[in-house]
């Protein structure tokens, strides 16, 4: 079926992004994988071609456009080229709503220009060593002392954790109040007591800086709080999680499409028992199944993008997209690796990198099990 999500301006932007990736990222990404880090300079270069801050008002250097299709273009181009080190989707898709919708005028003046230009890299610190999907189990505290918060705690698995200049820290301001005792506070690079631990050694996504963050008596001015009052953090997170989960689903489908396309071409040339392995019925059946499921997933995700643009995407819709597409991504990559035989286990083949990069997709942003729980609760049981 013909895909009809993008208009002409999105396709022109897609070409700009594609040229940028070919010129500035693809030739260097293998080295960044070895380094475990993407250099900050690439963020500034991406900002120069307009890849950040679409929803940031023009007066602060953004495009002033609320259209997630532009975000999807970037996610798809990054994913199809296996450029998993770029934390751009965290910046654009996860952080932008906090930066644009929850900041006051003074905060906008301070942070949005750098956010849109790529000079100010952002991250969000939710996960802790003892609290992953269970956000209410967070133990990091922020105690109000006069006109400052005193933050203590630890975060882990933080995307952009090494490069980030501005981190949204999810902290308990009233531990006895449950969900109503959570507040989002902006911690800035250089604040005393804010330190970074290891750049974590992952099985995949090697170039992406995923780090531990530590907060020891970090004094943060009240003017860095997101929102007008304490205790709204949990609800702010819940409002923004559907977009984050949709972003993950966009990447999942793009990854499945890319690996499937590569595998079909491989099956046309790889010989076994005197003929192409694509001529075997089992191969055709596997590819037929994967192609069908991937195309169905594509159209559901595109519908979700339209719903998000119309502000109609529900938590349940996003949960369905997130768990189904990420599980499908892992299925597609695993079966495509099997069709590659022993070569699929070699890192010189794209399917091997896709296999290790894809595994985390069913974990971050809310595990598959949590997504199913969200959907199940919607039935009123």
Question: Which amino acids are annotated catalytic?
Answer: 244
d(CA 185, CA 222): 8
* Phi, psi dihedrals of residue 202, rounded to the nearest 5°: -100, 165
Task: For 122-179, give the DSSP string.
Answer: EEEE--BTTBSS-GGG---EEEEETTEEEEEEEEEEEETTTT-SEEEEEEES-GGGGG
**By three-state DSSP, how is residue 212 classified?**
strand
User: How many Å apart are CA 54 and CA 70, to the nearest integer?
Assistant: 8
- DSSP 8-state secondary structure symbol assigned to residue 203: S
Count Cβ atoms below 10 Å from residue 88 Cβ, excluding itself.
24
CA distance 283 to 312: 40
Q: How far apart are CA 253 and CA 259, in angstroms?
A: 10
Q: Residue 144: beta bridge partners?
A: 149
Contacts of 250 (CB under 8 A, 6+ apart): 71, 72, 75, 76, 79, 301, 305
Residue with tokens 């502000």: 311
State the DSSP H helix or E strand holding residue 4, giving kind and residue range, or none if neither: none
The two three-digit tokens of residue 74, written as one number: 């970037």
Q: Rounded to whole angstroms, how far apart are CA atoms 171 and 173?
A: 6
């Amino acid at each position: 079926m013909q895909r009809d999500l993008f208009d002409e301006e999105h396709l022109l932007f897609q070409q700009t992004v594609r040229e940028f990736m070919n010129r500035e990222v693809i030739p260097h990404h293998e080295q960044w994988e070895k380094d475990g880090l993407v250099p900050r300079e690439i963020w500034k270069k991406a900002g120069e071609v307009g890849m950040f801050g679409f929803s940031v008002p023009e007066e602060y250097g953004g495009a002033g456009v609320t259209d997630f299709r532009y975000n999807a273009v970037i996610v798809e181009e990054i994913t199809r080229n296996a450029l998993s080190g770029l934390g751009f989707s965290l910046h654009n898709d996860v952080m932008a709503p906090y930066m644009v919708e929850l900041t006051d005028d003074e905060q906008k003046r301070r942070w949005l220009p750098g956010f849109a230009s790529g000079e100010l890299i952002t991250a969000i610190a939710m996960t802790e060593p003892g609290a992953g999907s269970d956000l209410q189990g967070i133990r990091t505290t922020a105690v109000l002392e006069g006109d400052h918060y005193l933050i203590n705690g630890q975060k882990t698995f933080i995307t952009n954790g090494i490069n980030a200049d501005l981190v949204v820290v999810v902290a308990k301001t009233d531990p006895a109040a449950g969900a109503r005792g959570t507040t989002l506070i902006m911690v800035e690079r250089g604040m005393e007591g804010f330190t970074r631990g290891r750049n974590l050694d992952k099985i995949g996504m090697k170039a992406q800086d995923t780090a531990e963050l530590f907060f020891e008596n970090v004094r943060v001015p009240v003017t860095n709080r997101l929102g007008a009052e304490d205790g709204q953090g949990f609800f702010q997170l819940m409002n923004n999680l559907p977009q984050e989960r949709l972003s993950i689903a966009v990447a999942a489908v793009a990854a499945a499409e890319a690996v499937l396309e590569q595998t079909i071409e491989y099956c046309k040339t790889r010989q076994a028992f005197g003929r192409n392995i694509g001529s075997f019925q089992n191969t055709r059946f596997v590819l037929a199944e994967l192609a069908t499921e991937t195309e169905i997933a594509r159209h559901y995700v595109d519908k979700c993008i339209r719903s998000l643009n119309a502000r109609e995407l529900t938590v349940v819709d996003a949960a369905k997209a997130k768990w189904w597409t990420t599980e499908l991504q892992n299925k597609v990559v695993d079966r495509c690796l099997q069709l590659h035989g022993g070569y699929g286990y070699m890192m010189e083949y794209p399917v091997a990198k896709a296999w290790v990069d894809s595994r985390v997709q069913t974990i971050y942003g809310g595990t598959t099990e949590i997504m199913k729980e969200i959907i199940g609760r919607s039935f009123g049981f």
